[in-house]
Amino acid sequence: MNTKSLCGFKTVTKLVTALTVGLIASVQPVYAQGQLNIYNWGDYINPAVLKRFTEETGIKVSLDTYGTNEEMLAKIQSGATGYDIVFPSVHMRDIMQKLDLLHDAKVNTLKGFENIDPDNMRSKVDPESSYCLPYAWGAVGVFYNKTEAGEIKTWDDFFSLPDNGKKNHHAG
């Protein structure tokens, strides 16, 4: 299971008090002046949504992307500033908060927050979601044809399939 969060940075230069994924789509008031700087996982935001947000609010969106939590943290720790919003996984969000890299935006006081399922608030250091909002949730599974591959009980069994002349089609 992998959970992503939407967080505001302590180094933020513009106050962003009301941004959620639904907000981008439905466009509620946002307190950014001129430009909103976002740092997110690659391919997590449809460019058409960002374009519509700009058209409806007049606020331009600058989007930088990363491939891993560690890549994002390294960039932030090396002095990258100016991001209004970042989307770390929950475990990295907790690390960032302990490192004093996040801004307490008090997002749990915003209108509509009560609609978030409490089961999605998984941060150990921010259990009330004052610093970050739950953003996305997902799970990964492996399916296989038991007739073709035989019984798979371990990762070693799975990765030995090609050595045994079996097809091993996995995403990479």
Into how many domains does the chain fold?
2
| Same structural domain, 114 and 145 | no
- DSSP letter at 76 equals H
- DSSP letter at 11 equals T
| Same structural domain, 110 and 172 | no
| Same structural domain, 126 and 159 | no
Predicted confidence pLDDT, tens digits, the chain (172 residues): 455 666 665 433 232 333 333 333 333 344 557 899 999 999 888 999 999 999 999 999 999 999 999 999 999 999 888 898 999 988 898 999 999 998 898 989 999 999 988 888 878 888 888 888 887 777 888 888 888 888 899 999 888 888 777 665 554 4
| Same structural domain, 130 and 171 | no
| Same structural domain, 133 and 145 | no
- Alpha carbon distance 150, 166 (integer Å): 10
CATH number at residue 7: 3.40.190.10
| Same structural domain, 91 and 25 | yes
pTM greater than 0.95 (yes/no): no
Q: Are 90 and 137 in contact (CB under 8 A)?
A: no
Name which of 28, 22, 51, 36 is nearest 84 in CA terms: 36
